[in-house]
Amino acid sequence: MKFPVMGVLLISAALAGCQPATPAPVAPTGAEIAAIAEKAHNDYVAAINSNDTETLMALLTDDVVYQAPNMPEVVGKPAAREWVAGYFGAYRTQWEKTSLDFIVSGDWAFERYAYRSTDTDKATGAVTTDVGKGLNVYRRGTDGVWRIARDSWSSNGPPPAA
């Protein structure tokens, strides 16, 4: 028995209409956003305060960008590793970061924060504190871990003397 071409097309169209639609992504609830924010934020601050380069590197994306005050931006994980290793080599650091706003959109999250940092010079023992603000951009990896893709911060203090 031969089916006319038009009949095959109609049956195909009808069957295609029976396929389940791909569900739209479900936006996280307030409680889920709070849990994501708390874990991502706390993990990043703990990694910074570990003063261990590799611990911090585990929470950065390969294309990370750091925008620190008074210096060129640091782009990519190899450059970040070098910068962080130099920082941790010179200072014992302690950061207090307060999350002020945390927004999740798909695999991206955006955080506005306030900070207080305390750096102790390993060579001299001199202590420097700073207070400021910043923005973090997180990206969720295929393993479900939220990593820093961008961290940009600035001091509330006056610029350094020229």
pLDDT in tens, 10-35: 455 555 555 555 665 667 788 888 89
pLDDT in tens, 80-131: 999 999 999 999 999 999 999 999 999 999 999 999 999 999 999 999 999 9
- The dihedral formed by the CA atoms of 80, 53, 143 and 64, expressed in degrees to the nearest 10: -10
How far does CA 24 lie from the centroid of its chain? Answer: 24
**pTM of structure:** 0.81
Confidence label for 2 from pLDDT (cuts 50, 70 and 90): low
